[in-house]
Amino acid sequence: GAVVSQHPSRVICKSGTSVKIECRSLDFQATTMFWYRQFPKQSLMLMATSNEGSKATYEQGVEKDKFLINHASLTLSTLTVTSAHPEDSSFYICSAVVGTSVFNEQFFGPGTRLTVL
């Protein structure tokens, strides 16, 4: 199957700093990428949908000015957590979709564990 990578795999930062997480599709071009957040012992919560070359669509309750998403190419999307606080500590997961047919499998990245001190 297709491979999606995330960098970094884990990051620890101080409160008030910004953190950038990269999501790359390694062997395919992704028309759409999704960003999820997962708190301990909970399920994945969709944060936003990112289409190459256009603005991301955020889910209700997700602050677009805090979680900046850039999908500048068909193989790279970035999520920047601005002015991070301890409550932003979570497991951030991206996924990538290829194609525009009825069903396109989502390929998930390995996740990035963010800890804000």
Partner 1 sequence: DAKTTQPNSMESNEEEPVHLPCNHSTISGTDYIHWYRQLPSQGPEYVIHGLTSNVNNRMASLAIAEDRKSSTLILHRATLRDAAVYYCILRDGNAGNMLTFGGGTRLMVKP
* Residues in contact with 80: Cβ distance below 8 Å, sequence separation at least 6, in sequence order: 18, 19, 20, 21, 67, 68, 69, 70
Q: For tokens 């969709």, what's the residue? A: 46
Among 4, 21, 47, 116, binds partner 1 (CB under 8 A): 4
Q: How far apart are the first and last CA of the chain?
A: 37
Please name which of 98, 55, 48, 105 lies closest in space to residue 75, comparing C-alpha atoms: 98
Contacting partner 1 (CB under 8 A), which of 19, 58, 95, 116?
A: 95
107 binds partner 1 (CB under 8 A): yes
Q: Is 50 exposed, middle or buried (0-12, 13-18, 19+ CB in 10 A)?
A: buried
Backbone φ and ψ for 31, nearest 5 degrees, come out as -75, -30
Does 32 help bind partner 1 (rule: CB under 8 A)?
yes
**Binding segment for partner 1 among 45-53, 60-68, 71-79, 82-90 (CB under 8 A)?**
45-53
Nearer to partner 1 by Cβ, of 8 and 16: the residue is: 8
**CB under 8 A: which stretch of 11-19, 63-71, 73-81, 99-107 binds partner 1?**
99-107
Q: Rule CB under 8 A: is residue 28 a binding residue for partner 1?
A: no
Residues interacting with partner 1, by CB under 8 A?
1, 4, 6, 32, 34, 36, 43-46, 49, 91, 93-95, 97, 102-111, 113
